[in-house]
Structure 1
Amino acid sequence: MAEEATGDLQYHVDGELVAADEATVSVHDRGFAYGDAVFETIRVYGGVPFRWDAHADRLRASAEALSLPVPLSDAALRGRIVETVAANDLREAAVKLSVTRGPDTRGLTPPTDPDPTVVVTVSPLAPGGSDGDRAWGEPARLQTAKTRRVPDRALPAGAKTHNYLNPILARLETRVSDADEALVLDGEGYVAEAAAANLWFVDERGLYTPSLEGPVLPGITRETVVEIAESEGIPVTEGRFEPDDVRDAEEAFLTSSIREIRPVETVDGVAVGGGPVTSLLTRLYDARVDAACYDGDDTDGDGQANGP
């Protein structure tokens, strides 16, 4: 979030609501010093954190991969999100929930008795769903980056950590072109994902997306698209693909919690674009948001539609 965008916002820092411009963590916090932290970015529609249960599960899986204790229950974490959104008089928002290992001055080796830091930051968004606006503005223009995805054995791909230098380096490469997002390959040259989104492409046989067996983050929106495609009888193939497979596709799109389903306009200057499958998935995704967050069906408070 840009500095000037904080305005009169309030953030939740270790159990207290504080003005965004005054929100701080210790310079000794391991999340700041080493990237020793995990986080989730969550879309809030109509005051409801969408797919909260899935985000909570992934947060805990990320923390487990780092042997990092999460000091609060899922219900308490969700409560801090809802409290932060309400304190800012928002109904539509992007939320970042971070859990760090906390302050420590004993060096690189993690402490055996950490005091985790929990931070919730928020930024306003326009309404989503069937009657809402798109957070992405324009279709994506991808550029294949020279920076490769960190191997899973070096840094667990399934863990969403504060160590984001790899996608940052990939994004920096796009500054020399008209691209606005990086397409990142694995160490063997196969497509992994975008810098901050999962990748999909389409041909006459169905949907394709890089397998989670590679260095690919298991995206919550990715999971939702798989569910939608299966319910519609659209084949989904998860595998290893080369950049030319994406450049030659009939359609391509990215998925992420904030930008949802974003069509890809070009890959390395080659026109790809959206199409009927991307449009169908977008409509069905919006319908799920409507049912879970705007139509009053989320009686469990988990950001997921109840019923069939």
Structure 2
Amino acid sequence: MLLYLNGQFISKEEAKISPFDHGFLYGLGLFETFRVYDGHPFLLDDHVERLNKGLAELSIEQKYTREQINKILQELLERNRLTNAYIRLNVSAGLGEVGLQVEPYLQPNLIIFPKRLSPGGELIEKKAVLLKLKRNSPEGNQRLKSHHYLNNVLAKREIGDFPDVEGIFLDEHGYLAEGIVSNLFWIKGNVLYTPSLHTGILNGITRQFVIQLGWKNNLQIQEGLYSIKEVLEADEMFVTNSIQEIVPITSFEGRNFPGKEGQWVQQFHQDYRQYCKNLWSRHSVGRE
């Protein structure tokens, strides 16, 4: 499998960056993960927008466009003979001296990793378990999708390597936060609930897309600070991310949920299938 590194399409054995890259030395780097469906990079505009905002916050002076990234992606897909793929797009700060740097980074490293995936389309259920480990607070004003991933790694070690289980974080105040690699949702009546960004969670691209779908389907949207008790009173519970899509939850803290049989999980899944092969941005949802 070939990957893209700073203008070249090379094998993973050939891929090298300097140990003086501040993405390695100090964790100054960001990444985006998303899927390609039949050659279309789903919600690419939203991923690029979030990436560019994060780069500005890290003082990495680079800004990407849909056209620039998609051109690379299409050649990468062609060279690897892929039409459906997992994509990880990684930007690290680039070279610097040993020591903390206050000047902007002018030559970041851009790496794009592809991986073959099926076209998707199935609802895969999971059980949710409450983590003992608390969600750490963001390093800055908001959580970036950054190289600072130890909290997630330790949480994954806590629950073990079980593909049908997702761990759910509480924040430091005991409010529901997010999954190890997902955002959290539940539905009660005609209200779609999800934890507030004030809990320190990542504002996932699929999270934002599902909120948009909620509006489209005439649901009320509530983002707030919620206790475990409140989700246990829900009609349906699910988690989301850009690779696993909509993931129905079957049980959490002794409470069973309908999982993939849930009415709203099925509706969101149907909407996802409608848009995944053509949508560039969540802002276009509902437009004719």
Q: TM > 0.5 between the two? A: yes
Tell me, yes or no, if structure 1 residue 140 matches structure 2 residue 132.
Answer: no
User: In structure 2, what residue type is equivalent to 1:142?
Assistant: A
How far the C-alpha of 1:71 sits from its partner, in A, is: 5.6
Give the TM-score of the pair, scaled to structure 1.
0.84
Match of 2:241 in 1: 256
Q: Distance in 2 between matches of 1:186 and 1:61?
A: 24
Corresponding residue number in structure 1 for 2:196 = 211
2:274 aligns with 287
- The amino acid across from 2:100 in the alignment is L
Query: Closer, same or farther in 2 for the Cα pair 1:110/1:24, shift >3 Å?
Result: farther
Secondary structure at 1:146 match in 2: coil
Given that 1:62 and 1:158 are in contact with CA atoms closer than 8 Å, whether structure 2 keeps it comes out as: no
CA contact (8 A) 1:141 1:179 kept: yes
Displacement, 1:133? 4.1
Aligned with 1:280: secondary structure? helix
- What one-letter code is carried by the residue in structure 1 that aligns with 2:216? S
2:231 equivalent to 1:239: no
Q: Name the residue aligned to 2:107.
A: 115
Q: Which moved more, 1:70-79 or 1:113-122?
A: 70-79
- Aligned partners of 1:159 and 1:204: how far apart in 2? 32
Alignment partner, residue 57 of structure 1:
49
CA distance in 2, matches of 1:59, 1:191: 26
Give the alignment partner of residue 276 of structure 1, picking from 263, 271, 274.
263
Counterpart residue number, 2:147: 162
- Identity of aligned pairs, percent? 30
Match of residue 83, structure 1, among 75, 78, 81: 75
Give the secondary-structure state (helix, strand or coil) at the position aligned to 1:209.
strand
CA separation in 2, counterparts of 1:103 and 1:178?
37
What is the rounded CA distance, in whole Å, between the counterparts of 1:302 and 1:198 in structure 2?
19
Match of 1:21 in 2: 13
Q: Which amino acid aligns with 2:115?
A: S
* Structure 1: 5+ residue stretches without partners: 1-8, 294-300
Instruction: Encode CA deviations 1:221-278: one digit per residue, 9 max, x unaligned.
Output: 1111111111111112111111222233221101111111000122245322421111
Give the alignment partner of residue 201 of structure 1, picking from 151, 167, 186. Answer: 186
Compute the displacement of 1:178 (Å): 9.4
Secondary structure of 2:276's counterpart equals helix
Q: How far apart, CA to CA, are the structure 1 residues paired with 2:238 and 2:219?
A: 16
Structure-2 separation of matches of 1:148 and 1:194: 11
Q: Is the 8 A contact 1:63 1:159 kept in 2?
A: no
- Could you tell me which amino acid in structure 1 is paired with residue 111 of structure 2? V
Looking at structure 2, the residues matched to 220 and 179 of structure 1 have their Cα atoms a distance apart, in angstroms, of 22
CA distance in 1, matches of 2:75, 2:200: 35
Residue of structure 1 in register with 2:159 after alignment: 174
